[in-house]
Amino acid sequence: MEQYLNNFLLASSILLLLSIVLSKSSSRFGLPVLVLFLFIGMIAGSDGIGGINFSNYELTHSLSLVALCLIIFNGGFETPFSKVKKDFGRGVVLSSIGVMLTTLLVGGFTHLVTDLGLLESLLIGAILSATDAAAVFSAFKDPTAQVGDVKNILRFESGSNDPMAYFLVSVIIGFIEQGMGDAKTTAIMFISNPIIGLIGGWITARSFILINNVVKLDFNGLYPPLTMAMLFLGYSLTTKLGGNGFLAVYVFGMIIGNRKILHKNLLSLFFDGVTWLSQIGLFIMLGLLVFPSRLLTVAPAGLFIACFLTFAARPITVFLCLIKSRFNLNEKLFISWAGLKGATPIVFASFAATHIGEKAHV
């Protein structure tokens, strides 16, 4: 057991060190840093020179949920409400109706060009529907990215649309496993899920502010663990009550990120580092799960769907959701092309793999 643990730590530390060091030079070649992490995972995998045989979707899904909670929380924490409030309504439309439109468009197209059933096709659409907070925040941390207010609506959308996408993925998987079920129950869940999520996030934030600002801990280093404990408490309790845990986490982060709280700079630095670690881990895990030798059979259909998502589904969705908005044509085009995918589909795809088994590999 000790030898196994030592081998695990050795491999993990080497992969992490490589990812961090190589990220310094990736921007010089115009290569997104998160894609670099993916390539490192593929090279280290069973088909690469590393030879690491990793295909545990259950473990990937569990770790991905933890990482995504941290990424979404930090996304809310770093979103200044003062800069997004004028586009708040449009951002909500993009992160809700936009996700549903993308799911329908990509799902319908997938059903037309593949042999998959309608529900399986819609599941692919839902998995690919949300823009990814990790990828978007990473792109806009580049100080040379001068894109004005467009950056703010994209940050808000990417941080807030994961809950809707996860809800759609869960509902569609439920339909695949158990049939269409009761439409009334689904409609009630569709309404109650985000409402409970919003309330859960608000209660978590209020509770944290009370504890953080009133209870004086003996060591400053205990405040980040306190925040993390409240984060996962809010997620788990909200989920147990039938609410959207990811939405609760995002609301929690956004509320405390826009309030004057003690040790805010400490929390910002801590969660920035934890978020980077989560992103690196997610993309390396995805790379390890990828078997390049198996991609040849699905690559043509996958590339076809990806092109439709990039050049048709995302632009159609954005232009419909931003109709009569203050954004001009060039800004709408930029928002369309900034529908970046990343960590979120990893979580959703692993979720599908753990629930519907071999069907997820078709």
- Domains plus CATH for the chain? 56-141+161-361 (1.20.1530.20)
* ∠ Cα 164 91 345 (to 5°): 40
Under 8 Å between Cβ of 314 and 130: no
The pTM (predicted TM-score) of the whole model is 0.83
79 is written with which tokens?
């979103």
> What long-range pairs does 121-128 form, CB within 8 A, spacing at least 24?
122/172, 123/169, 123/172, 123/173, 123/176, 123/352, 124/305, 126/99, 126/165, 126/168, 126/169, 126/172, 126/348, 127/165, 127/169, 127/345, 127/348, 127/349, 127/352, 128/102, 128/305, 128/309, 128/341, 128/345
Q: How confident is the model over 156-185, as pLDDT tens digits? A: 888 788 888 888 888 888 888 776 666 677
Q: What is the pLDDT of residue 175?
A: 84
Q: What is the pLDDT of residue 228?
A: 94
Q: What is the pLDDT of residue 2?
A: 64
User: Average pLDDT of the chain?
Assistant: 82
The values of phi and psi at residue 9, to 5°, are -65, -40
Q: How confident is the model over 248-287, as pLDDT tens digits? A: 999 999 999 998 888 889 999 999 888 888 888 888 887 7
Predicted confidence band at 148 (pLDDT cuts at 50, 70, 90)?
low
Between these two residues, 283 and 97, which has the higher pLDDT value? 97
Q: What is the DSSP secondary-structure string of 72-86? A: HHHHHHT--HHHHGG
Under 8 Å between Cβ of 111 and 118: yes
Distance CA(88)–CA(80), nearest Å, equals: 11
Distance CA(334)–CA(164), nearest Å, equals: 23
Distance CA(330)–CA(6), nearest Å, equals: 52
Under 8 Å between Cβ of 105 and 97: no
Which one, of 197, 188, 189, 194, lies nearest residue 238 by Cα? 197
pLDDT score of 319 more than 90: yes
Predicted confidence band at 31 (pLDDT cuts at 50, 70, 90)?
low
Q: How confident is the model over 53-75, as pLDDT tens digits? A: 777 777 777 888 888 899 889 88
pLDDT score of 107 more than 60: yes
